[in-house]
Amino acid sequence: MSVLELACEPCVEILKEGGISTKEIDAVLFSSCATDQYSSAIISEMLGIHPKIVHRVDNLCNSGTNAITSAFAMIASGLCDTALVVGAEKGKGPGNRLLWDITRGSFMLPPQWAAIFAKAHMRKYGTTEEQMAMVSVKNRKNAARNSQALFRKEVGLQDVMNSRKIAYPIKLLECSAPCDGASAVLLLSEQRARRLDNPVFIKGIGHQTNSASLAKATSELTRIDAARSATSRALEMSQLKISQIDIAELHDAFTILEIIAYEDIGFAKTGEGGKFVNQEQIIINPRGGIIGCGHPVGATGVAQVAEIASQLAGKAGMRQVRHCANGLVHNLAAAGSSASVIVMGV
Amino acid sequence: MSVLELACEPCVEILKEGGISTKEIDAVLFSSCATDQYSSAIISEMLGIHPKIVHRVDNLCNSGTNAITSAFAMIASGLCDTALVVGAEKGKGPGNRLLWDITRGSFMLPPQWAAIFAKAHMRKYGTTEEQMAMVSVKNRKNAARNSQALFRKEVGLQDVMNSRKIAYPIKLLECSAPCDGASAVLLLSEQRARRLDNPVFIKGIGHQTNSASLAKATSELTRIDAARSATSRALEMSQLKISQIDIAELHDAFTILEIIAYEDIGFAKTGEGGKFVNQEQIIINPRGGIIGCGHPVGATGVAQVAEIASQLAGKAGMRQVRHCANGLVHNLAAAGSSASVIVMGV
């Protein structure tokens, strides 16, 4: 399947079951790193819909949440009543290398970057290889209950620890895998959404972009400052405290990123992310995270939002989490230089 | 220069003269068909700014007005106070072919498509080759006063009529040329803008996307229905009548498109666009249009908005038009299947 055919799949389901006619879609925003031109209009054509606004949004691994933010803004500003956001990617797409870093003589491949953060966190806070490996064990366990996940076989601690070393201390089973994938979300104006059963609302949005150069990305390689800024903005807008978040999708492209995310978001104190892996109060990455689901780059942020929306609406099927009212999505791009955080609630 | 270096040029000028510090830029939206990944973040990095939201927007020839619309929505929704929109393209970029049409056995090159519309308009309304050629004469005359234009030499009617035939009745001097180019616009919240001298306001926005397939794009090949829908939406939002528009940037990628635009927008009655070329009441394409300025695809819509903003602010220098209070931008994409119209005023 082409990336455009892939993109249509989840849209067809939404159009079938979303209680909306093709005539009512005001915008189609396509999130992808694919280089196809004019792709959002072609997807609209393939779906037989004629929206007002169509364009593609791209910002590498957080393209998806950028598209969600654009759609939110178009609705909140009154330009649209409804917006279909669809993310899709081919595993062999162009989004898997950090090409711009070539010009800086730096790292092209994401695992090398993640290894630097992992080593810094181990050195400063005593985080262990086993704690990082446990992130993969947990997320693969969740993925086993997700029919849409790329990896549906559980792995044990020793499987992860013994998997191929990629860039010390990162091991193969601690890395997300590029793959084909697509996800779509339909955004409606508040007024329209309130007419539906179990609507879920975007309550807060925060973004931050820091330097794309690793040397300046952060003065402290144990944290991702962009994620901290994005989180505080999203929480402020939502008027919620972090203690009120019941469920979260965190950007676990590598295990260390989930541990750092616990701290950046404020689920754990700085330095205590390693120990936080085994907690069970806040449900983290119920669909299996990026490690379990695979990482179709432009689709990932959309899939994260779709998961939290399904959970909050009570429509997550086999992996439904009980009693969740507020959720959070944390989506990074390009060596943590960009971060998006979206807070949702019922 | 790379497309990213090109993109920085107009931004540097805005940062120098816009009365805004790098710390105050909330979003950088990059409009381009270039396939560089994560390009908006790299541009931000090159400019030394750390915005909240960064992403690239792409929808072929109207990428620019799509990015403007997104920036407007982000500000109107309260997510941002300021947004820098920059468009840039290399002349040898990927946006010059209508590739998706291959799958439909249709036309790959835009002049073939424009020729169909030109022939239909000649047949139905008696529009002449000379009338179309005069669009080029007029726009090249305007371009001669624009230091940023690609073509600064005026051409006469016979020059156009005798230029190489591309696809009957379209001649070489009736076609826009792909070229390197960049343009940027700074959007501010209404409250911030009111503190400046001569602020210009976006008063109305309209978009429409019809089928990307030529067979279904319009039942009538003498008009572009998407442009008609987009215009009526933009005017309605602006609460202005078409008779109140003093100046316009129309998407003259080919001469026939400007004639059809006169009719679609409502400057001329349907069928009377050919005769309208010589009117002098409404100033059309004062910078020289796409025919005079060249067509750096992703930059074009931004440059159109920049021109109307400069004119309305009284900052258009040598080509300043007197007494203009309201202006309109008309930006098409991909065989007229997408159209954006933006109405601006003081």
pLDDT value, residue B76: 98
Residues B43, B10: Cα–Cα separation, whole Å: 12
A77 touches chain B (CB under 8 A): yes
Tokens of B56: 């690239």
Are residues B57 and A55, on separate chains, in Cβ contact within 8 Å? yes
Chain B residues in contact with A51 by the CB 8 A cut-off are: 209
Are residues B51 and A334, on separate chains, in Cβ contact within 8 Å? no
What confidence category does residue A210 fall into, taking pLDDT thresholds of 50, 70 and 90?
Answer: confident
Residue A120 belongs to a domain:
no
pLDDT value, residue A102: 46
Q: How many domains does chain A have?
A: 1
- Find out whether A210 and A62 touch, Cβ atoms under 8 Å: no
What confidence category does residue B335 fall into, taking pLDDT thresholds of 50, 70 and 90?
Answer: confident
- pLDDT, tens digit, 9 for 90 and up, residues A214-225: 666 556 889 999
- pLDDT, tens digit, 9 for 90 and up, residues B161-170: 999 999 999 9
Residue A124 belongs to a domain:
no
Provide the pairing of β-strand B283-284 with B326-333: unpaired
Query: What is the CATH classification number for the domain harbouring B246?
Result: 3.40.47.10
3-state secondary structure of B104: helix
Residues B176, B304: Cα–Cα separation, whole Å: 14
Token pair 């106070």 is found at B81
What confidence category does residue A98 fall into, taking pLDDT thresholds of 50, 70 and 90?
Answer: low
pLDDT at B86 over 60: yes
Do you find a cis peptide bond into B169, omega within 30 degrees of 0? yes
Taking the CA atoms of A90, A92, A96 and A100 in sequence, report the sign of the dihedral they define: negative
pLDDT at A343 over 70: yes
Residue A146 belongs to a domain:
no
User: How far A57 CA sits from the closest chain B CA (Å)?
Assistant: 5
User: Among B8, B11, B33, B61, which one carries the catalytic annotation?
Assistant: B61
- pLDDT, tens digit, 9 for 90 and up, residues B201-242: 999 999 999 876 666 655 688 999 999 999 999 999 999 999
- The pLDDT of A306-334, averaged and rounded, is 95
- pLDDT, tens digit, 9 for 90 and up, residues A155-174: 999 999 999 999 999 999 99
The gap between the terminal CA atoms of chain B, to the nearest Å, is 36
User: Among B121, B207, B295, B330, which one carries the catalytic annotation?
Assistant: B295
Beta bridge partners, A201, equal: A345
Are residues B37 and A73, on separate chains, in Cβ contact within 8 Å? no
pLDDT at B142 over 60: yes
Residues A305, A329: Cα–Cα separation, whole Å: 6
Chain B residues in contact with A52 by the CB 8 A cut-off are: 206-209, 229-230, 233
Q: In 3D, which of B98, B164, B131 has the Cα closest to residue B260?
A: B131
Which residue type, as a one-letter code, is found at position B147?
Answer: S
Beta bridge partners, B52, equal: none
pLDDT value, residue B109: 77
Give the nearest chain B residue to A98 (CA atoms). Answer: B37
Least confident range of A71-75, A177-181, B34-38, B102-106 = B102-106
From the list A41, A57, A79, which residue is nearest B334 (CB)? A41
Q: In 3D, which of A76, A250, A334, A44 has the Cα closest to residue B55?
A: A334
User: How far B64 CA sits from the closest chain A CA (Å)?
Assistant: 10
pLDDT value, residue B103: 42
Using the 8-state DSSP alphabet, how is residue A295 labeled? Answer: B
ipTM > 0.85 for the complex: yes
Mutate to test the interface with B, among A5, A31, A32, A58 (most CBs of B within 10 A): A58
Are residues A73 and B55, on separate chains, in Cβ contact within 8 Å? no
What confidence category does residue B104 fall into, taking pLDDT thresholds of 50, 70 and 90?
Answer: very low
From the list A40, A230, A334, which residue is nearest B41 (CB)? A334
pLDDT at A335 over 90: no
* Domain around B264: 3-94+176-345
Are residues A37 and B99, on separate chains, in Cβ contact within 8 Å? yes
Phi first, then psi, for residue A44 (nearest 5°) are -60, -45
Give the nearest chain A residue to B47 (CA atoms). Answer: A211
What confidence category does residue B102 fall into, taking pLDDT thresholds of 50, 70 and 90?
Answer: very low
Planar angle of CA A187, A192, A196, nearest 5 degrees:
90
What confidence category does residue A85 fall into, taking pLDDT thresholds of 50, 70 and 90?
Answer: very high
Planar angle of CA A67, A71, A73, nearest 5 degrees:
115
Mutate to test the interface with B, among A54, A211, A213 (most CBs of B within 10 A): A54
Are residues A211 and B95, on separate chains, in Cβ contact within 8 Å? no
Residue B273 belongs to a domain:
yes
Token pair 């955004």 is found at A187
The gap between the terminal CA atoms of chain A, to the nearest Å, is 36
Residues in B 153-182 with any Cβ partner in A closer than 8 A? none
Chain B residues in contact with A341 by the CB 8 A cut-off are: none
Residue A164 belongs to a domain:
no
Q: How many CA atoms lie within 13 A of B3 on its CB side?
A: 27
Residues in B 230-269 with any Cβ partner in A closer than 8 A? 230, 233
pLDDT value, residue B141: 97
pLDDT value, residue A205: 98
pLDDT value, residue A104: 42
Are residues B53 and A209, on separate chains, in Cβ contact within 8 Å? yes
From the list A52, A74, A208, which residue is nearest B73 (CB)? A74
Are residues A94 and B37, on separate chains, in Cβ contact within 8 Å? yes
B82 touches chain A (CB under 8 A): no
- Does an H or E element contain A169, and which? none
Residues B127, B125: Cα–Cα separation, whole Å: 5
User: How large is the C-alpha radius of gyration of chain A?
Assistant: 19
Are residues A334 and B38, on separate chains, in Cβ contact within 8 Å? yes
Q: In 3D, which of A252, A255, A208 has the Cα closest to residue A234?
A: A208
Residues A63, B14: Cα–Cα separation, whole Å: 26
Residues B330, B247: Cα–Cα separation, whole Å: 11
Chain B residues in contact with A73 by the CB 8 A cut-off are: 70, 73-74, 76-77, 79
Q: What is the pTM of this model?
A: 0.96
User: How far B289 CA sits from the closest chain A CA (Å)?
Assistant: 23
A59 touches chain B (CB under 8 A): yes
Higher pLDDT, A113 or B319: B319
Percent of chain B with pLDDT over 70: 93
What confidence category does residue B96 fall into, taking pLDDT thresholds of 50, 70 and 90?
Answer: low
Are residues A100 and B63, on separate chains, in Cβ contact within 8 Å? no
pLDDT value, residue A110: 84
The CA-atom distances, in angstroms, between B318 and each of B28, B144, B197, B269, B311 are: 30, 10, 20, 32, 11
Are residues A42 and B208, on separate chains, in Cβ contact within 8 Å? no
pLDDT at A67 over 60: yes
Residues B121, B117: Cα–Cα separation, whole Å: 6
A53 touches chain B (CB under 8 A): yes
Can you give the length of chain A in residues?
A: 346
pLDDT at B34 over 60: yes
B210 touches chain A (CB under 8 A): yes
pLDDT value, residue B93: 72
User: How far B56 CA sits from the closest chain A CA (Å)?
Assistant: 5
B61 included as an active-site residue = yes
Residue B68 belongs to a domain:
yes
Residues in B 260-319 with any Cβ partner in A closer than 8 A? none
Using the 8-state DSSP alphabet, how is residue B164 labeled? Answer: P
- Find out whether B53 and A75 touch, Cβ atoms under 8 Å: no
Q: In 3D, which of A203, A201, A187 has the Cα closest to residue A237?
A: A203
- The pLDDT of A65-81, averaged and rounded, is 98
Token pair 């300025």 is found at B293
pLDDT at B143 over 60: yes
pLDDT value, residue B337: 84
Phi first, then psi, for residue A292 (nearest 5°) are -85, -35
The CA-atom distances, in angstroms, between A67 and each of A183, A235, B120 are: 12, 19, 39
Residue B152 belongs to a domain:
no
- pLDDT, tens digit, 9 for 90 and up, residues A100-143: 444 444 556 788 889 999 999 999 999 999 999 999 999 999 99
pLDDT at B17 over 90: no
Phi first, then psi, for residue B146 (nearest 5°) are -115, 110
- Does an H or E element contain A171, and which? strand A170-171
Residue A312 belongs to a domain:
yes
pLDDT value, residue A218: 57
Q: In 3D, which of B223, B249, B253, B255 has the Cα closest to residue B133?
A: B255
Provide the pairing of β-strand A53-58 with B53-58: antiparallel
Q: What is the DSSP string of B73-91?
A: HHHHTTS-SEEEEEEEE-T
Are residues A38 and B78, on separate chains, in Cβ contact within 8 Å? no
Residues A49, A9: Cα–Cα separation, whole Å: 14
- Find out whether B66 and B340 touch, Cβ atoms under 8 Å: yes
Are residues A69 and B78, on separate chains, in Cβ contact within 8 Å? no
